[in-house]
Structure 1
Amino acid sequence: MPVRKIVKIDEDKCNGCGDCVPSCVEGAIQVIDGKARLVSETYCDGLGACLGECPMDAISIEERDAPEFDESAAVEHAARKETNQPVHACPSTRMMSFERQANSSDRSAAVSDHSMLSSWPVQLTLVPPHAPFLKGADILLAADCVPFAYPAFHRDFLQGKSLLIACPKLDDYEAHLEKLTQIFRSARPRSVTVLRMEVPCCGGLTHMVRQASLESGVSFPIQETTIGVRGQILASV
């Protein structure tokens, strides 16, 4: 195997923003599990067109043993990628933060028709543990069904919080637990509010948060609010 120049991605620095993906015309880089990764060394030409696109300075060029760059295979892969539009290259993985402010001091009217979402993505699976919008934040972990059941979700719960959504019944519980543990260890949140539905399986969200707090060694106030299937607040502890 020859020694040649090839891209190196520092996963500790990478925040999964995806800015490097479109700059690689060969399609050698994709965001997978919240991190930019080389999908195949044979697709990387080692020229470093992606270097200037990384805001975290996580990409560099190194010389090491690596398979030869296969230009024909890279061209074919890039064309297939463009046609198929794989999920890992879609905008759902690109992190964004934005200001959301109420335009009235009257809480009931302030956000009745305005989004209070302050960051993206929101799916727990897609959020990188080192996402800057989680640092020292008040995190709202909501069950997937809550915003559909509770009509004033933005007004009453979302304002001023960084949102994560998950389902303890249908999602991979162990993967979510590991992700939350990584998030708590890195972000050291100020508080976590769990917003769950009244169905018994939804209590898994609160258990997940408490377990992740223990495993991460990071403590913070945890509040649980339960929403009924007809949209009412049943309990808040």
Structure 2
Amino acid sequence: MSKLPCGCPGSQVRTVEAKEISNSESTGRLQSELRQWPTQLHLVPPSAPWLQNADLLIAADCVPFAYAEFHRDFIKGKVLVNACPKLDDTSPYIEKLTAMLKQNDIRSLTVTIMEVPCCRGLAMMAQQALQASGKDIPLEVVVIGVDGERRN
């Protein structure tokens, strides 16, 4: 194993294989749609192999807690990075997102945010990174209410 920049093996880039869950319809259990690790934007290198030809999902940290069908409606078929525009040190985010978009053939960009004002910063960072990348990538911003309902 190569030396990791932060020294934590949990930060190592890896692909997560889907597991077959038998009788998921009868048990009501949902399967995780997460197919890569790590997800935290600070930890994802722009050179991560799973970013190539990906549909990129940028999720505000609170969205999966508020929106019950997050895996099925948003993660499925996408590569996830998550961040909190209020609590994180976001100073490197625009540069990092720009590098991700420049270095990879990203097919689409979806940003899920909460309806609270501080969350809008994540959508703005994604828009700025997209503009700085010089690429024409479809961008969708989805707003989730604190009641768990989709606002748009």
Q: Give the TM-score normalised by structure 2.
A: 0.90
Name the CA distance, whole Å, in 2 between partners of 1:101 and 1:220: 31
Distance apart, 1:136 and its partner CA: 1.4
Distance apart, 1:94 and its partner CA: 0.3
Distance apart, 1:181 and its partner CA: 0.8
1:1-237 matches, within 5 Å, as 19-21=1-3, 31-32=4-5, 88-100=6-18, 112-235=29-152
- Give RMSD over aligned pairs: 2.2
User: Is 1:112–1:155's contact at 8 Å kept on the other side of the alignment?
Assistant: no
Distance apart, 1:214 and its partner CA: 1.3
Name the CA distance, whole Å, in 1 between partners of 2:57 and 2:45: 16
Structure 2 runs not aligned, ≥5 long:
none
**Residues 67-99 of structure 1: CA deviation (Å, up to 9, x unaligned):** xxxxxxxxxxxxxxxxxxxxx211221011123
Name the CA distance, whole Å, in 2 between partners of 1:225 and 1:201: 15
Percent identity over paired residues: 47
**Residues 165-201 of structure 1: CA deviation (Å, up to 9, x unaligned):** 0111221222111110111111131001000000011
Name the CA distance, whole Å, in 2 between partners of 1:155 and 1:180: 24
Q: Which amino acid aligns with 1:180?
A: L
Q: Which amino acid aligns with 1:204?
A: G
Structure 1 runs not aligned, ≥5 long:
1-18, 22-30, 33-87
CA gap of 1:229–1:214, structure 2 versus 1, over 3 A, is same
Name the CA distance, whole Å, in 2 between partners of 1:230 and 1:164: 23
Give the number of the structure whose alpha-carbon radius of gyration is greater: 1
Q: Give the TM-score normalised by structure 1.
A: 0.59
